[in-house]
Amino acid sequence: MSAKEIVLRYGFNPHQKPARIFVKSGDLPFKVVNGAPGYINMLDALNSWQLVKELKQALNLPAAASFKHVSPAGTAVGIPLTDTLKRAYFVDDMEESPVMAAYARARGADRVSSYGDFVAVSDTVDGPTAKLIVREVCDGMIAPGYEKGALEILKAKKNGKFLLIEVDPDYEPDETETREVFGIQMEQMRNNAVATPDLLKDVVTRKKDFPPDAVRDLIIATAAIKYTQSNTIGFAVDGQAIGIGAGQQSRIHCTRLAAEKADRWYLRQHPTILDIKFKPGVSRADKNNAIDLYLQERLNKFERETMEAAMVDVPPQLTYDQKRDWLKGLKGVSLSSDGMIPFRDTIDRAYESGVEYVLQPGGSIRDEGVIKACDDYGMVMAFSNLRLFHH
C-alpha cells in the first residue's frame, strides 16, 4: 500500500532531526495522502486508529476519536445527535451522517482539550464529516478511505497542508513489539486484549445487571483508557466518552479530573449556556474558551476581559447550587479504570457525577471497601481481571 520508510518533519520537537518512520520488512500499512507528518502526528495516528478500529469491531457502529499528545480527549460511536448536543457542539446548522456524528461527539467530550487534535475515524470519510473537520482546528486525520468530494474539501484545509493518512483496515501487526529508550531495546507481546461484554461477567456488587446502554458505554470507556497514558479513569454515557482523566500518578486524581470534565460536558448543555450570544466573527475556539471561563468559579481580570470580549452580554454566572441542581440530571454514567481502584474515594467522587456502572480490574487489598461503596450508592460493578496500563 505504501513505501518502507517515510521521512518525518522532526521528532518530538523541531530540533530532533532527522526523524523517520519505517518497517524492517514489507511496506508501511498506510500512505500519506496529503501533508507531511511529524513524529507525534504518527504516534497519534497509530494509537487513535487502533482505538476506533476496536470500537467499530466491538459495537458495529462508526467510531471516531479526538487525540491530543498520544491520548484521546474524546471518543464516541455514531449515534444520532440530540438537538441539545447539536447546539452544544456548534453543529446545529450542519448535515449529519453516522461518521460525522461520531466525530462531533468525540470532539464534543472536551472541546477545549480537542483544540488542534488529531482525528481518527473507523469508516470512509464522507462529505458531512469533512465539512465539520474543516471548521475545527485540527492537525490531521487517519481513516481507511476518503470519498472524492470529502478529500477535495480536506486537501484545501490549512492552505493545502492538512495531514491526511489513509490506512489499510486489514493490517494486523506482529504479536511482539519493540521500542528503544535511552539506547536500550525493550520487547513485549503487544496488548491484544479487547474490550468486549465478556469483561463484565464477574459482577461483585449486590446489584447485578448491566443494561445494554451501559455495556456499550463501558466498552467505549475501556477501549479509550487502553490507549490513554496511565493512570487513567474514563467516564462514558450515551455512546461517547465524556471525561478522561489521563496520566496522573494517583487514581483519585485521575477520577477527579475525569469527573470534572464530565461535569463540564453536562454543564455545557445548560439552557443558560446554550442561549449565550456571541459577537460576530468570534471563532469556534474562542467560543469554547469563553464558555470554559464562564464555568470557572473565579476569574482574574484578564480572564474576565477575554470572556466579555467574546459574548454580546455575559449572563449572571451560575451559582454553585444552580450547577449542582443541573448536574443531578447527569445519570447512567459508566466508569472504567485501567488499574485496580485502591480506595473508595474514587467511587465517592464518581457518584457525584452520575456514575452508576463501574468496570475495574480488581485485586486490591481494599476491594471489599470499594465494593461496599458501590453497594452504598446502588451501583453495579464488575471485576475485569484485566489491567490496561499504557505508556
pLDDT tens digits along 54-112: 999 999 999 999 999 999 999 999 999 999 999 999 999 999 999 999 999 999 999 99
Q: Are strands 138-143 and 163-167 parallel, antiparallel or unpaired?
A: parallel
Q: Which strands make up the sheet holding 117-121, listed edge to edge?
A: 30-34, 163-167, 138-143, 117-121, 63-68, 71-77, 240-246, 232-237, 333-337, 355-360, 380-383
180-200: average pLDDT: 94
Domain-ending residue, one of 123, 141, 167: 167
H or E segment at 188?
Answer: strand 184-189
Do 111 and 211 reside in the same domain of the chain?
Answer: no
Considering 69, 131, 323, 372, which one is annotated as catalytic? 69
- Number of folded domains in the chain? 3
- What are phi and psi for residue 350, nearest 5 degrees? -65, -35
Q: What is the pLDDT of residues 9-53, one digit of tens each?
A: 999 999 999 999 999 889 999 999 999 999 999 999 999 999 999
301 part of a folded domain:
yes
Q: What's the rounded Cα separation, in Å, for the pair 196 and 66? A: 22
**Cα diameter, the chain:** 62
162 part of a folded domain:
yes
Domain-ending residue, one of 133, 167, 201: 167
Cell of 22: 519505517
CA 278 to chain centre: 27
Comparing CA positions, the residue from 198, 240, 267, 214 lying closest to residue 63 is 240
| 5, 59, 92 from 235: Cα distances, Å | 38, 17, 25
Residues 254/245, Cβ–Cβ less than 8 Å: yes
For residue 18, cis peptide bond before it (omega within 30 degrees of 0)? yes
159 in active site: no
**b/e map of 182-198 (b: 16 or more CB within 10 Å)?**
eeeeeeeeeeeebbeee
pLDDT band per the 50, 70, 90 thresholds, residue 3? confident
250-258: average pLDDT: 97
Question: pLDDT at residue 381 above 70?
Answer: yes
Do 162 and 196 reside in the same domain of the chain?
Answer: no
* pLDDT at residue 1, rounded to an integer: 42
Q: What's the rounded Cα separation, in Å, for the pair 356 and 214? A: 9
Do 377 and 332 reside in the same domain of the chain?
Answer: yes
Mean pLDDT of all residues belonging to the chain: 96
Do 33 and 104 reside in the same domain of the chain?
Answer: yes
178 part of a folded domain:
no
Q: What's the rounded Cα separation, in Å, for the pair 254 and 231? A: 7
Q: What's the rounded Cα separation, in Å, for the pair 106 and 166? A: 20
| 111, 284, 327 from 108: Cα distances, Å | 5, 12, 18
Considering 41, 47, 231, 288, which one is annotated as catalytic? 231
Comparing CA positions, the residue from 159, 144, 162 lying closest to residue 53 is 144
Considering 208, 301, 328, 391, which one is annotated as catalytic? 391
Which domain, by its residues, includes 361? 184-267+326-383
273-278: average pLDDT: 97
358-376: average pLDDT: 97
68 in active site: yes
CATH number for the domain harbouring residue 258: 3.40.140.20
Question: pLDDT at residue 2 above 90?
Answer: no
172 part of a folded domain:
no
* pLDDT at residue 25, rounded to an integer: 87
Do 212 and 339 reside in the same domain of the chain?
Answer: yes
Considering 47, 53, 56, 68, which one is annotated as catalytic? 68
| 244, 286, 349, 389 from 225: Cα distances, Å | 8, 29, 19, 8
Q: What is the pTM of this model?
A: 0.95
Q: What's the rounded Cα separation, in Å, for the pair 107 and 86? A: 12
15 in active site: no
Do 156 and 205 reside in the same domain of the chain?
Answer: no
175 part of a folded domain:
no
